[in-house]
Amino acid sequence: MSEEKQKEKKSEIQFQIQKIYTKNVSFKSPNSPYIFKEQWSPNISCDLNNICSKLEDHVFHVILKVSVKVTLQSKLIFKCKVHQSGIFYIQGMPEEELTRCLGAYCPNILFPYARECISNLTVKSGFPQLNLEPVNFDVALKKSKNIENSK
């Protein structure tokens, strides 16, 4: 192989999903079964957090933490936490792109799995299906960078 082709191959960006798995799940409904008698008009809050770490050269672990809290007036209906994880092989990506990939692209891959897990947990717990709205992780990453830069 010529030197030019070897350089091209080295500079080529490689991205592979090695594993997607659920790292942690928690569901609490402290006021059931009595809460089932209440009129269903809940308040829903959702928090997202993303943690990235390097496992070895070119291998990264990303954890998307999704926490949902559903209340009815002052009563807790349920609280659900899902930590959806993935192991990704990423090589040849410039540092700025790597930050965006780990902070937005990888969580975007993981989010449908977390959303499905939360939806299934709510239905299996006797509550109406909860479908979380899509999240634009690119915008969330830009906002978090703006907050960090303003400090």
Among 62, 92, 67, 63, which residue's Cα sits nearest to residue 80?
67
Rounded to whole angstroms, the Cα distance separating 101 from 26 reads 27
65: tokens are 């933490």
pLDDT tens per residue, range 31-68: 999 999 988 889 999 999 999 999 999 999 999 999 99
* In-domain check, residue 1: no
Kindly report the CATH number assigned to the domain that includes residue 140. 3.10.420.10
* In-domain check, residue 2: no
Q: What's residue 74's pLDDT?
A: 87
pLDDT tens per residue, range 97-115: 999 999 999 999 999 999 9
Report the domain count for the chain.
Answer: 1
**Residue-range definition of the domain harbouring residue 38:** 14-150
* In-domain check, residue 37: yes
